[in-house]
Amino acid sequence: MSEEDRKPRRIALNPRQWAAVALVVVALVFILQNLTYVRVEFFLIHTAAPLWLVLLVTLAAGYAIGWFSKRRD
């Protein structure tokens, strides 16, 4: 094995990967700051859930609504 084979390789991230890393960090900070439980009422269902989970489900529902309602030309 030559000396060049033993050198650790540097991993270069492109801007899209940096943005993904930044979003993961922001998401983790958001989750850690919103661990309290909130009361959730939906029709006749009453439950308690962490605030971050309620917001995540709401975001996913909004994404799904937008995806299903977009125009397809």
Please state the domain extents for the chain: 3-69
Q: For Cα atoms 71, 65, 59, give the angle at the middle one, nearest 5 degrees.
A: 135
Residue 7's identity, in one-letter code, is: K
Dig out the tokens for 70 from the structure.
């977009």
Q: Measure the CA–CA gap between 4 and 1, rounded to whole angstroms.
A: 8
pLDDT at 22: 92
Q: Could you tell me if 56 and 35 are in contact, meaning their C-beta atoms sit under 8 angstroms apart?
A: no
Residue 43's identity, in one-letter code, is: F
47 φ/ψ angles, rounded to the nearest 5 degrees: -150, 175
pLDDT at 44: 92
pLDDT at 12: 82
pLDDT at 5: 63
Question: Taking the complete model, does pTM exceed 0.85, yes or no?
Answer: no
User: What does each of the 73 residues of the chain score in pLDDT, given as a tens digit?
Assistant: 566 667 777 778 888 888 888 988 988 888 888 889 999 998 999 999 999 888 888 888 988 998 888 776 5
